[in-house]
Amino acid sequence: MGSKRLLFISSVFLFSIMFLLGLGESVNGFPSSPSFVKTNGLNFVLDGRPVYVNGFNSYWLMSLATDVTNRQKVTSAFEQAATHGLTVARTWAFNDGNTYNALQTSCGVYDEQVFRGLDFVVSHAKSYGIKLILSFVNNYKDYGGRAQYVQWGRRAGQNIRSDDDFYTNPTVKGYYKNHVKTIMTRVNSISGIAYKDDPTIFSWELINEPRCQTDPSGRTLQGWIKEMAAYVKSIDSNHLLEVGMEGFYGGSTLERKQYNPGGCEYGTDFITNNQIPGIDFATVHAYPDSWLTGSDENAQLSFLNKWMQIHFDDVERVLKKPLLFAEFGKSYKDPGYSTAQRDRFYNTFYNNIYSAASSGKAGGGGLFWQLMAEGMDSFADGYDIVLSQNPSIAAIIASQSHRMSLLNTTMFR
């Protein structure tokens, strides 16, 4: 047994002791309750009490759970997450077209075996006290995305100019609505509970990282979000809903555009897009190493601090709803990378979240990208973390879970 393995076991042991001594809400993750998570002002609430989360992304859960021989990797991920106090997982409820383990194999046609894989993910998450954010579609071509819906539209004879017509073409929008309804009304083959009735689901997400290059103002996306938010809420008024945005500013706040990476516009508007009725909380992503190509560590950390603070301020001052940093991370593929750099990045990020949350501001929590189980090298993207193999970052993540859980139990008694 090597020193890294010993350090990992020590971090797990210490975190477990914290909970056994009553310093955390629950050994099994999210506070146990049959209720749905709601919002109240800047806070997420459960049974009327504010809750703060520390979580992760694992987009691959459904795909691997489709094959019963791979389900142990899903179990391993949830076990590691729960052991380190992680309470929310964000994952894909889509895989469209001619892709491996596609859920929607052709327009409106679904593979039952893949759906059963998603059923396993939802029911299994519940057993580990983990709630799920389920995303309906990808902005990118990976796993089908907008491009696949547009291709289906072209095959049906629609006059489509670009992938951005996903947001405006009535036929394509109908395809998307059908998928949304299919997911929300799905009855879990394991639990017997319809997804729209299952409190295991923390929230729905309209689209992963939406962008619209043909209309940088954000108005095209504004219309689509308004229509789809109303549609989701017409089927399911219990669950929370968010857009899936990265946090880029648009036409309504031109003075904020300077904070976007490179000062560019991406067809989104963090303020107006999140003011739409039915959008219950705002999301932001944070990848300074990817967005600021060629920058050094100090520049990246400086950007991170500014990026987080400006969004905390805007949510508190303008949006007046919770804020979740739904993706963040640092790649070990970066030039000059060291474990110490990633540790400093995570510590800076978590300190900002905790400072906002502990002062009653909009620090609802953060979800790192991404958690993986052992033996998943083919899924590695540089941002992946196997907690059992990364003792220093595992200890940092567990520490953040602990202090966020203390906020759940001590701040609002």
As annotated, the active-site residues are 209, 327
Q: Torsion over CA of 396, 79, 283 and 212, rounded to 10 degrees?
A: 120
Q: In sequence order, what DSSP letters do the residues of 177-196 get, joined into one string?
A: HHHHHHHHTPBPTTT--BGG
Question: Cβ of 402: how many Cβ atoms within 10 Å?
Answer: 18
How far, in Å, are 62, 189, 248, 401 from residue 211 at the CA level? 25, 35, 10, 32
> Is 157 exposed, middle or buried (CB count within 10 Å of its CB: 0-12, 13-18, 19+)?
exposed
Question: Cβ of 375: how many Cβ atoms within 10 Å?
Answer: 12
- Which stretch of DSSP H or E encloses residue 273? helix 270-274
Measured in degrees and rounded to the nearest 5, phi and psi for residue 325 equal: -80, 95
What are the residues whose beta carbons fall under 8 Å from the beta carbon of 116, sequence distance 6 or more?
A: 66, 189
Segments of 238-362 assigned E as strands: 240-242, 282-286, 323-328
Q: Which two tokens stand for residue 353?
A: 């979240």
Give yes or no for a contact between 207 and 148, defined as CB atoms under 8 angstroms apart. Answer: no
Q: Which two tokens stand for residue 230?
A: 């109303």
Q: Which two tokens stand for residue 20?
A: 């056994």
Select from 190, 84, 100 the least CA-distant residue to 404: 84
* Secondary structure class of 108 (helix, strand, coil): coil
Q: How far is CA 187 from the centre of its chain?
A: 23
What are the residues whose beta carbons fall under 8 Å from the beta carbon of 174, sequence distance 6 or more?
A: none
From edge to edge, which strands make up the β-sheet containing 38-40?
38-40, 43-46, 49-51
